[in-house]
Amino acid sequence: MHPINLNEPATTRPTLAESLSFTCQLGECRSELLPLLSEVSKVVSGEGSLSKTLKLVLELMQKHLQVTRAMISLYDASCDQIFIHESFGLTKDEIEKGVYYPGEGITGKVVETRQPIIVPVIADEPLFLNRTGSWDKTVDCRLSFICVPIMRGMKVMGTIGVERLYNNRQLLYLDLEVLAIIATTIAQAVELHLLERAHKQVLQAQSARLDKELKEKFKPANIIGNSKAMQSVYRMIDKVSHARTTVLILGESGVGKERVASAIHYNSSCGGGPFVKFNCASLPESVIESELFGHEKGAFTGAAARRAGRFEEADGGTIFLDEVGELSLSAQAKLLRVIQERCFERLGSNESIKVNVRILAATHCDLTAMVAKGTFREDLFYRLNVFPITIPPLRERGNDILILAEHFNAWFAKEQQADVPAISTPALNLMLNYDWPGNVRELENMMERAVLLAEEGVIHSYHLPAALQPAVLGELGEQSGLEARLSMMEYELIVEALARFQGNMSRAAAQLGLTRRMLGLRMAKYQLNYKDYRCGD
């Protein structure tokens, strides 16, 4: 194998600038090299997924460098493998075969040594493995191979490799310089992609582990989350589902009380019966009794015909009374009788109607305090509070926030017929550090907005509402222009580095190409504390 210098002194090789001055003397005119590099820079700085960006880069290389084959490979440190991410001139089967370990073949050697390699004649190089099977000895015997590393600082993230016929060694060196510049140009985009990939792998591994732990336990299919707080809720649902006990579901607005009621109904013996939902706060007091218990024709102005109420509709199944704390005292009295006797009268009738119905109620109110004030009947409270289940707020559910965010991300991307965007680490950190006063409902609404804004295929921290942003970013978010956008991007890169190195400022600074003092000044600007990124802190 021939290293980059081919046993020649470095001073004998022309620089890129020198080569550009006499490219037409090399047997092939390269007057389009500067336009090539300019176009590559524009493609990388534009919006789009990494795959889309690299495909465009390869197309430009084919157009300007006339390569026979080209491939951009990425190094996945989690499995210590190098795989082809995008290519030109390779079939799908050939791409799938192109997997290497560091040190294996020329591509693996470039990753291992972090140095570029030139093979003037592939046929003469025993370390050229032809793992993809794309190289034909009879047709491609005179082709050369150039492979350069994609680097960020001292970290190697992949390689660019090209095959083509060269009749001039100086032209070979010229293209090596060009490929090295292209590798530097795409390095940041590649690094962000690998960080997102690693983050998703961690989430998937965590989810798989928790799913395995829960597979022998009851877990409703309609509720997402594996936190300890939610596992306690699942156990309560499992215990009460198969009984006919009245259940009072407690929790802040937006925590998913209706989903818990649904899980109890569909896992109960009356799951095949109707599941009737009624929001006690959605209608004025004057019509609530009619809605719940029905009315006879002529019972009041506008009652043109007999109408069955929600309790009659729920006969043989379950009725879910949401926001039961909003009922008037007169409606509470009638509800108490239904719970005690399972019978009631329609408005305008003296005929008692008996029903076989299970009652589930929910509220975000403090019913104990309401009983003390006299705004909620004490006897009704005790009838409802037979089996209370308290749903924890989202802020107490830990990594369920990330799992729910990924769920809503995929859901809304599918609904909008778009590719599922990645969620950047800074955006996830903001979600984890937010109090979520609107709970799951607020997270759902936020993700719908973020998916719409993520035109470049990534949900960044600046795509989230101002309420989630630190004060300094909230101010930037209200501004427009290049400086504000660059500051937001700088914030994201600093958070990515701190998260990756678990708050180690020296390593984060080195990765960002800054001194520790410079990093400290930028962290102060964005009100960041390295302690927030330490494991266990």
Low-confidence ranges of the chain (pLDDT < 50): 1-11, 20-23, 214-216, 536-537
Question: Are residues 374 and 405 located together in one domain of the fold?
Answer: no
Q: pTM higher than 0.75, yes or no?
A: no
Q: Based on the fold, state whether residues 95 and 148 are members of the same structural domain.
A: yes
CA distance 461 to 481: 17
Predicted confidence (pLDDT) per residue in 181-227, tens digit: 999 988 888 888 887 777 677 677 766 666 555 444 567 888 999 89
Predicted confidence at residue 499, as pLDDT, reads 78
Give residue 375's pLDDT.
94
Q: Does a structural domain hold residue 125?
A: yes
> Count of domains in the chain?
3
Beta bridge partners of 183: none
* Residue 17 confidence (pLDDT): 52
Task: Indicate the helix (H) or strand (E) that contains 129.
Answer: none
Nearest Cα neighbor of 278 from 214, 312, 321 is 321
What Å distances lie between residue 129 and 101, 142, 160, 378, 386, CA to CA?
12, 16, 16, 81, 72
Look up the domain containing 462 and give its range: 398-533
CA distance 179 to 164: 13
Question: Based on the domain organization, do 423 and 375 belong to the same domain?
Answer: no
Burial call 415-436: b when 16+ CB within 10 Å, e when fewer:
eeeeeebbbbbbbbbbbeebeb
User: CA gyration radius for the chain?
Assistant: 33
- The continuous run of DSSP H or E covering 196 comes out as helix 169-214
| Tokens (6 digits) for 416 | 């909008």
Task: Judge if 50 and 66 occupy the same domain.
Answer: yes
**Inside any domain, residue 187:** yes
pLDDT at position 531: 79
- Answer yes or no: are the C-beta atoms of 226 and 410 closer than 8 Å: no
Burial tier of 374 (Cβ tally within 10 Å: 0-12, 13-18, 19+):
exposed
- Answer yes or no: do 314 and 356 share one domain: yes
CATH number at residue 477: 1.10.8.60
Residue 250 and residue 209 in contact, taking contact as beta carbons nearer than 8 Å: no
pLDDT at 196: 78
What local confidence, expressed as pLDDT, does residue 113 receive?
A: 93
Both tokens assigned to 475 = 């101010």
The whole-number pLDDT of residue 35 equals 72
Rounded distance between C-alpha atoms, residue 180 and residue 160, angstroms: 9
